[in-house]
Structure 1
Amino acid sequence: MEDPARLRREYLLAVLQHQHDLIDLTLYQLRANKARRRRGERRRKNWVRPWIGRRRQFGIYDQLMVELRKEDHASFTNFLRMPPAMFDELLARVGPRIIKQHTFFWDPLEPGMKLALTLRHLASGNKYASMKFGWRVPHNTQSLMVREVCQAIIDEYLDEVLVCPSTPDGWRAIADKFFQRWNFPHTCGALDGKHVACRCPAKSGSQYFNYKGFYSIVLMALADADYKFIWADVGGTGSASDAQIYNDCELKECAEDGTLGFPDPEPLPSDNQDVPYFFIGDDAFALRSTMMKPYNLRGLTNEQRIFNYRLSRARRVVENAFGILVNRFQILLSTMQHHPSTVRLIVKACLILHNLMRTRYPGLQNQQLDRAENENHDFVPGAWREGRNLEDTQTASGPNTASKDGKKQRNLLKHWVNSPTGAVPWQDRMI
């Protein structure tokens, strides 16, 4: 039988502890009110607005999302831009990073609520002030929550889904996919930049103002043949050009000094002359042996037009990847009302979620792939050169050796795509 005296002592200790907690809470409120009076603010009527306190009864997460999961998976996918199974995977892996400890003063928001609200913000681009009424979460809480969840997604998935190859086999696999799908050889990725609009940061002058007439940060990304991003840089400001950002980045330096892991130069299909592996880009970039771009549009020959079409056909992969990205996460289509550091955090999280969806559900939001049905012929290596004037592959003018080598390489590719070996049946009618 338990000792009645001990039970009384334990009861009195519990009462005293409860009274001590109440005193602490009262002192906290008194200090907060005193500080508020010093700042000239009015005293709060409610610590939590009553309609926010009824979040579990009428909020989107606990009501609408439960109904969509049970009754309409397609609408759930449209609401968060991902199926329920993908949301559950994200919650299982990201949830432990964003869970908070319960305290005497308040109960923390559930990890599922934080994740769902963040995904909806990325998918819709709605402002915090408008989202607070449906989700019943104050706008200042949302601002902290979105940054926390985006950082957790980056920390959890970055090394898994946004990885730049570092070995010859990894780059060769990408090049083989480009040749298989887009009929352009030795291509290790399509590079381009995209301006993501944001409000003008305080005291930034024209640093973020771009040539299109709005404030932005620049997303520079390298895409593979399957619309996935394999490298990205979101540190550029709107006033910087694509070439300026690429020239200052580590990717260009490693590609040109040979530390990026490109395969050794190999012959083009059905050829016997070694050609380096390279990236492809638009006319903004400098022509190098590691970067192929189209010919200038003035005074083009038919062969140059065909080369431009063939290169642009492969290069548009990165444009399509940007299109899939911004249509899935439409916050990238709006002018984000965030600090530039938060904008960069959101863009990185969107890139990771894009790659994750491309990996888990490659057909969910896909563009129609162009597949060329080439005839199966047996070519003698180098035989396509016979009867062609290849003098421009041996001599070229330019300000430096790098640009001369790039011009020679581009001219060789021009001849190859116009030869029976490298031509595709429809290229003549496309120019």
Structure 2
Amino acid sequence: MEIEECIAVWHLLNNKKKKLKRRRILWVHSMLGLRESKGMYNLLYQDLLQDPSKFFNYFRMSIQSFEELHILKIRLVKKDTNMRRSIASKKRLAMTLRYLATGCSLTELHYNYRVGISTASEIIQQTCKLIWIFMKEQCIPMPTREKWLEIADGFLKNANYPHCLGAIDGKHIRVIKPQHSGSLYFNYKHFFSIQLLAMCDSNYCFTFVDIGDHGKNSDSSIFKNSHFYKNLTSKKLDFPNPDFLPQKKDYKIPYVIVGDEAFGLSFNVMRPYGGKNISSKKRIHNYRLTRARRFIECTFGILSNKWRIFHRPLNVSIDFAVDIVKACTVLHNFVRVRDGYKHEDTLSVQGLYDDDYVAETGAGSARSATIIRDYFMNTDILPWQNSCIAV
């Protein structure tokens, strides 16, 4: 019993020593106490308001868009306590936008904005969540039938592809290996990632996003497990009824979504013809379909270059990474509609990575879908499109 009592006393004294070591010397570090006088927000924000172009470059949105986004202040405001004052809502929003716009580290925000690293992390994650929760329905709503027809008119005008309701594709968002995740997030390109599956219109705006799937999964499997696909197969998306193509009036064709070879051919999903030894007509159709599909590639490029957090691996937890991607997709549409996009946002597409996995399709599946694709192939084409493809 004496030995056991000695061991118990030793553990008790050892734990007390550890607690004394961990005891906070200062409630707030002296450097952080100068936030109101020397913090980046207080030194720079008023000067940025005097120059709209500099403001846009710093926050990736106009002054008017920033103020409109600040309607979240009711939920961003925190109460002051007897111990310390809360961080203002505009400052919280400014920190979040700067983090997403530059991809800087939390440590850099810690020094620039004079807030604790854990506080900065909490502020950014909370703000990202609020942006998604309260602005998703406004910025990425499910289109109505009238909106679907408007999207189809846009693709016909801008890509010369009829009956197209959107371009769909998947991208890998690089992340630091999550703890205890094994190979779930390790993709075939040999890095760790989460998936962003998205569809866009011809105005480079997202109309559907599915975020956070494991990096090892393919676009096709993510698409088939999404709520969008379930609603598509159950006819709940309010797609326009099949109609005649502009060039032909003999057969009513359904409206379709265009994707690459990773997606299976179906009644409402068009993919290119496979193989190398294909006819000239099939090559022309593949070219026409690619002209429509490139809009999602351009949308990913604009997203990645505006919100440059995607130019490096996300060194945060998976839940935090998902919140970041969700917020950026909402902000992409929010800024795209209100401010357009700047030329420098389209100069490169670093940060997002293609998923080139090719889905296998059964030989007997979707015979009607094959007939529909052949009908698209045999529609009249523009003379310059015909001349672009070598026979």
TM-score, normalised on structure 1? 0.80
For residue 83 of structure 2, the aligned residue among 105, 119, 130 is 105
**Residue 389 (structure 2) pairs with residue 409 (structure 1):** no
Find the counterpart in structure 2 of residue 73 from structure 1. 52
**Residue 213 (structure 2) pairs with residue 236 (structure 1):** yes
Find the counterpart in structure 1 of residue 44 from structure 2. 64
For residue 249 of structure 1, the aligned residue among 211, 216, 226 is 226
Give structure 2 stretches of 5+ with no counterpart: 1-14, 348-360
Matches of 2:109 and 2:196, distance apart in 1: 27
Find the counterpart in structure 1 of residue 364 from structure 2. 400
Q: How does 1:7-406 map to 2 (within 5 A)?
A: 37-39=17-19, 41-70=21-50, 72-91=51-70, 93-165=71-143, 167-272=144-249, 273-364=251-342, 399-402=363-366, 404-406=367-369
Distance 1:429 1:86, change over 3 A: same
Q: Which has the higher contact order (CA 8 A, sep 6+)?
A: 2
Matches of 1:333 and 1:297, distance apart in 2: 34
Amino acid at match of 2:171: K
Give structure 1 stretches of 5+ with no counterpart: 1-34, 369-396
Task: From the CA coordinates, give the structure whose radius of gyration is larger.
Answer: 1
Matches of 1:127 and 1:217, distance apart in 2: 20
Matches of 2:134 and 2:311, distance apart in 1: 26
How high is the sequence identity, in percent, across the aligned residues?
Answer: 34
| Deviation of 1:157 (Å) | 1.1
C-alpha distance after superposition, 1:66-114 (max 9, x if no partner): 22222x32222111111222112112x1111110111111100011110
| Deviation of 1:42 (Å) | 4.2
Matches of 2:110 and 2:141, distance apart in 1: 36
Number of residues paired by the alignment?
362
| Deviation of 1:118 (Å) | 0.5
Show structure 1 runs of 4+ deviating over 3 A. 35-40, 363-368
C-alpha distance after superposition, 1:213-242 (max 9, x if no partner): 111100000101100001100031100000
Find the counterpart in structure 1 of residue 7 from structure 2. none
Amino acid at match of 2:39: G
Matches of 2:383 and 2:202, distance apart in 1: 18
RMSD of aligned residue pairs (Cα, Å): 2.0
Amino acid at match of 1:413: F
SS in 1 for 2:298: helix
| Deviation of 1:423 (Å) | 2.2
C-alpha distance after superposition, 1:106-126 (max 9, x if no partner): 100011110000000000111
Contact 2:176 2:316 in 1 (8 A): yes
